[in-house]
């Protein structure tokens, strides 16, 4: 973890000057790290869904595997996202007590840090019934979209610098399996106004 944090701090300082010269203010590089190999189709759906959710902010997202990062990537902002558990629809639901935490972002002395976690085991556990009754392609889409919605929630905390939650939309504190699997889950107008100032 110390090595990862040192890398990101270096990237933050290095990209600050680059962003002033060449990169748009709304550029964001997300460095990803998966505990186990994910399902490529689900990852693809995750990226597409996150683009759709963040569209109102005109946020241009670049994805880089942390294992393949060489420090040459340039962006106005960077974020490291660790995907816990198994991000694959063919895996059985995790055995053991559920924590109920789908994702979280690190905070130090009241400051939101660019380090977030998304727990695929918790997501799959919450969506067990819906995944079981769906066809394979639909399961990939459901998991990918759910991962994107949890990640968008953590992005909201990071971009706005707040730990507060809303009563509806992406920024609400808790999701149901039905909400994660719904056809559309987005930021509401109040959340959009708050986040547009980042």
Which CATH number do you get for residue 23? 3.40.390
pLDDT of residue 42: 96
Residue 100 makes CB contacts below 8 A (sequence gap 6+) with 122, 174
> With contact defined as beta carbons under 8 Å apart, do 131 and 89 qualify?
yes
Domain region containing 119 = 2-193
pLDDT of residue 166: 87
pLDDT of residue 144: 97
pLDDT of residue 18: 38
Q: Which SS3 state, helix, strand or coil, does residue 71 take?
A: coil
Q: Is residue 138 in a domain?
A: yes
Q: Is residue 75 in a domain?
A: yes
Q: Is residue 69 in a domain?
A: yes
Question: What is the number of domains present in the chain?
Answer: 1
Q: Which SS3 state, helix, strand or coil, does residue 62 take?
A: strand
Phi-psi group of 69: left, alpha or beta (phi > 0 → left; psi -120 to 50 → alpha; rest → beta)? beta
Q: Is residue 198 in a domain?
A: no
Q: Is residue 125 in a domain?
A: yes
For the entire predicted model, the pTM comes to 0.82
CA-to-CA distance for 105 and 3, rounded, in angstroms? 18
> With contact defined as beta carbons under 8 Å apart, do 44 and 11 qualify?
no
Residue 192 makes CB contacts below 8 A (sequence gap 6+) with 56, 57
Q: Is residue 144 in a domain?
A: yes
The series of mean pLDDT values per 10 residues for the chain, 198 residues long, is 52 42 64 96 97 88 88 77 93 60 95 96 92 91 97 93 90 92 84 66
Q: How long a stretch of residues is the chain?
A: 198
**Sole residue written with tokens 């919450």:** 126
pLDDT of residue 192: 75
pLDDT of residue 91: 66
Q: Is residue 117 in a domain?
A: yes
* Residue (of 187, 184, 145, 189) closest to 169 by Cα position: 187
Q: Which SS3 state, helix, strand or coil, does residue 31 take?
A: strand
Cα–Cα distances (Å) from 184 to 11, 118, 158, in that order, read 34, 20, 22
pLDDT of residue 22: 38
Q: Is residue 164 in a domain?
A: yes
């Amino acid at each position: 973890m110390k090595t990862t944090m040192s890398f990101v701090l270096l990237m933050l300082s290095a990209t600050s000057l680059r962003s002033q010269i060449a990169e748009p203010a709304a550029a964001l590089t997300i460095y990803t790290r998966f505990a186990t190999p994910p399902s490529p189709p689900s990852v693809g759906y995750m990226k597409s869904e996150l683009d759709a959710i963040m569209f109102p902010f005109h946020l241009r997202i670049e994805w880089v595997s942390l294992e393949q990062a060489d420090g040459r990537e340039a962006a106005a902002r960077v974020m490291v996202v660790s995907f816990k558990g198994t991000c694959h629809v063919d895996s059985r639901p995790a055995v053991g007590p559920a924590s109920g935490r789908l994702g979280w972002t690190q905070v130090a002395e009241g400051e939101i840090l660019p380090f977030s976690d998304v727990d695929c085991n918790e997501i799959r556990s919450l969506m067990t019934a819906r995944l079981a009754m769906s066809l394979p392609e639909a399961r990939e889409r459901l998991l990918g979209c759910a991962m994107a919605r949890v990640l968008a929630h953590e992005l909201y905390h990071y971009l706005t610098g707040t730990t507060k939650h809303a009563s509806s939309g992406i920024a609400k504190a808790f999701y149901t399996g039905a909400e994660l699997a719904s056809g559309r889950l987005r930021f509401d107008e109040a959340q959009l106004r708050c986040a547009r100032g980042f």
